[in-house]
Structure 1
Amino acid sequence: MKHFGHLIVVALLRTLAILPYKWVARLGSAVGAALYALPSRRKHIVLVNLHLCFPARSEHERDELAKDHFRHVVRSYLERGVQWFGSAEKINKLVQIESAIDLDDVNAPPTIFMGFHFVGIEVGCLHYSLKMPAASLYTHMSNKRLCDLARRQRGRFGAEMIERSTSAKKIVRLLQGGKPVMLAADMDHGIENSVFVPFFGIPACTLTSVSRLAKMGGARVVPFVTEVLPNFEGYKLTVFAALSDFPSGSDTNDARCMNAFLESQILKFPAQYYWVHRRFKHRPAGMPAVY
C-alpha cells in the first residue's frame, strides 16, 4: 500500500507539472483556504506562532494572516509538481532574479548562500542550480521514498545534495574547492550546536552552523529569499550582498544577526514564511512550552 501511495503522489506531481502554472497555483490557494476552515494541529501551531511574533495585531488580523498562510503553504505543495518535474525552460520563465552580487563570477570567493524557509525556497534553489554548480544541504525525511524522490528531483539540474548531518569537513572542502553551498538554518533542530536568541522578541533556538562553517571555510555569507509574486505571476529570487562582519567571532552575535535579517524579510510578505513549523519547540530552561 505504501508503494501504491508513493506512485499516486508521483503521478499527481507529474500531472501538475504539465498543467498551466496559474491553474495549479489557484487550485492550491483554494484548497488551502478550505483546509484552514477545519481544526488541525498545524493550524494551532500557526496561530501560536503568529500570536507570539505579532502580539500587537488583533486576533482577527492574525486569523486572516494565518488563512493567507495556509493558502500559500498548500499551494506550495502542489507547485512541487512544476518544481520537481517541470522543465528547465518552464522554471526559468517562472522565476525573476535580482542579485546584488555577480552570480556568474568564476573567481568568486568561497560562498555560503543562506536561505530561509519561505514557501518559495525550493524553486529559488532550483533556479540557481540552473545557472551555476552548487551544493545544497537537506534534512532527511522520515519517509524514505519521499526523501529519495525529493533529493533526486531537487538535484536534477546538477546540484549536489548533501544531508545536513554530513561532516563539516566535506562542506568546507566544497567551499574551498569553489562550489557554493546553499543551506537554511532558521528552524529549530534542537539545542545542540544552537543558541537562544530573539526572534520577534521571543527566545528562539537558533543554529550556529552558518557562522561556524563560514569561519572554517573562509566563506562569505550571502542571504537569499524567494518571494511568491502576486496575481499568480511566478516567483522572484532576491540575492543580497554578503553580510558584513560575518562571522564575527561570536556564534551568539551571528545568530542574532541572522534572525534580525530574517525578521526584516518576513515583514515584507509575512504570509509566506513557514509558520507551520514549531519555531519555538525548544525553550530556555524554566520557560513553559507554547504548543
Structure 2
Amino acid sequence: MLGKIGTYLAVGLLKFLALLPYGLVARFGDGLGWLLYQIPSSRKRVVHTNLRLCFPEWDDAERERVAGRHFRHAVRSYVERSYQWFGSARTIEKLVVVDSEIDLEDPDLPPTILLGYHFVAIEAASVAINHALKRRCGSLYQPFSNRDLDRIASEARGRFNAEMVSKSDSARAVIRMLRNRQPVMLGADMDYGLRNSAFVPFFGVPACTLTSTARLAATAPAQIIVFVGEVLPHYKGYRLKVFKPWADYPSGDDVADARRMNAVLEDLVRTMPEQYYWVHKRFKTRPPGEPGFY
C-alpha cells in the first residue's frame, strides 16, 4: 500500500511519462507486463482461473497465450494512465479514434446511461467520451483506499468537465443528473457483492451481476448506450466504440436485464479476449453453498 511519499513519487513518474512519446511509454508498459508475467503471483492465478472457467474449450497452450497477452495489456494500462490522467485534450484527440453510432455532440441527447465494460482501455475510453460529449457528464467510480491517490485520480479523470461520483453516493446523484439530461457513465460488469445483484450466467458461470442499472434506467427514465475502449495494435493508441441505444430496455425483469447485459459483454469479449479485465475476481461471490474459485 502506497504511503504519502510513495503516492507522490508514483504520480510524479506518471506525469513524467506523459511528456514522453506514447509509443515509447506503451512499449515500456508492454515489456514490464511481460516481465511481471514470468513471476508467479496471485493475479496471474486469477487470470488463469477466469480463462479456464470462461473458455473450457481452450487447451493449455491457448489459455497461456491469451493470459500472457492480457497480463501485458493490464500492466500497460496502468503505465498509460500517464496520458489518460495527465494528457492534454489535444493528446487525447490524437491517441483515440472515435467510432460512434450516435452523435455525441447532439444537444438533444435524451437522458443517457453510458455503460462502459471493463476492458483494459476503459480509462482512455471514459476520458475520451467525456471530452467528445462537449457537455458536463457524470462519472461513477470506485474510490481508491489511498485518499491522496483518490483525490489526484478524481481530479485527473474529471478535468474535461466530468462530475465524479463515488459509487457509495451514487443512486440519488445519478437520478438527479439523468433528470437534468446529464449523461452518466458507469460500469456494471464487476463483482460488487450481493447487494442489488443477482446470479446470472457469464460464459455459462453464475456471476454476481448488478441489477441496479435497469432500475436506474427505469426511474430516470434513461436510455442505455454501451461504449468500449480497444487498444489498437502496433502502439497506435485506442479506439472508442459507441453503440446505438438498447431497444426494449429495461424490460421490467431485472434478472433478465442483467442476463442481457452479460450476454452483450460476452459477444464483445470474444472479439478481443486478451483485452478484457481478467485480473479482476469476477466470480468472487458465489451462490450459497458453492465453493470459491480463487
TM-score by length of structure 2 reads: 0.97
**1:147, distance to aligned residue in structure 2 (A):** 1.1
Find runs of 4+ consecutive structure 1 residues off by over 4 angstroms. none
Distance 1:10 1:169 in 2: 32
Instruction: Tell me, in whole angstroms, the C-alpha distance in 2 between the residues paired with 1:149 and 1:263.
Output: 33
Tell me the distance in 1 between the aligned counterparts of 2:5 and 2:43: 26
Would you say 1:204 and 2:207 are equivalent positions?
yes
The one-character-per-residue Cα deviations of 1:6-55 (angstroms, maximum 9, x if unpaired) are: 12111100111010000011110111011101000000000000000000
Equivalent residues, number? 291
> Secondary structure, in 3 states, of the residue corresponding to 1:192?
coil
- Residue in structure 1 matching 2:145, options 134, 142, 147: 142
C-alpha distance in 1 between matches for 2:218 and 2:112 = 11
**Alpha-carbon separation, structure 1, partners of 2:168 and 2:253:** 22
Root-mean-square deviation over aligned CA pairs: 1.0
Tell me, what secondary structure is at the counterpart of 2:168?
A: coil
Per-residue displacement from partner, 1:215-257 (whole Å, max 9, x unpaired)? 0111000001010001111100000011111111011000000
Q: Determine the structure 1 residue equivalent to 2:119.
A: 118
1:165 equivalent in structure 2: 168
Q: Secondary structure at the match of 1:168?
A: helix
Q: Is 1:270 matched with 2:291?
A: no
Partner of 2:72: 71
* C-alpha deviation, 1:60, in angstroms: 1.3
Q: Percent identity?
A: 52
Tell me whether 162-171 or 48-57 shows the greater mean CA deviation: 162-171
1:289 aligns with 2:292: yes
Question: Which residue does the alignment assign to 2:8?
Answer: 7
Question: How far 1:123 sits from its partner (Å)?
Answer: 1.0
Q: Aligned letter for 1:140?
A: P
> What residue in structure 1 maps to residue 231 of structure 2?
228
Residue 170 of structure 1: CA displacement? 2.2
Distance in 2, matches of 1:179 and 1:32, equals 38
Q: Which runs of 5+ in 2 are unaligned?
A: none
Instruction: Give the structure 1 partner of residue 31 of structure 2.
Output: 30
Q: CA deviation at 1:278?
A: 0.3
Report the Cα offset of residue 102 of structure 1: 1.4
Aligned equivalent of 1:44: 45
The 1:163–1:31 alpha-carbon spacing in structure 2 relative to 1, beyond 3 Å, is same
What is the rounded CA distance, in whole Å, between the counterparts of 1:197 and 1:97 in structure 2? 32
Q: Distance in 1 between matches of 2:257 and 2:67?
A: 30
Q: Which one-letter code corresponds to 1:30 in the other structure?
A: G
Q: 2:263 aligns with which of 260, 264, 268?
A: 260
Q: Closer, same or farther in 2 for the Cα pair 1:76/1:252, shift >3 Å? A: same
After TM superposition, list the pairs within 5 Å mapping 1:177-192 onto structure 2: 177-192=180-195
SS of 2:209's partner is: strand
Deviates more, 1:54-63 or 1:169-178: 169-178
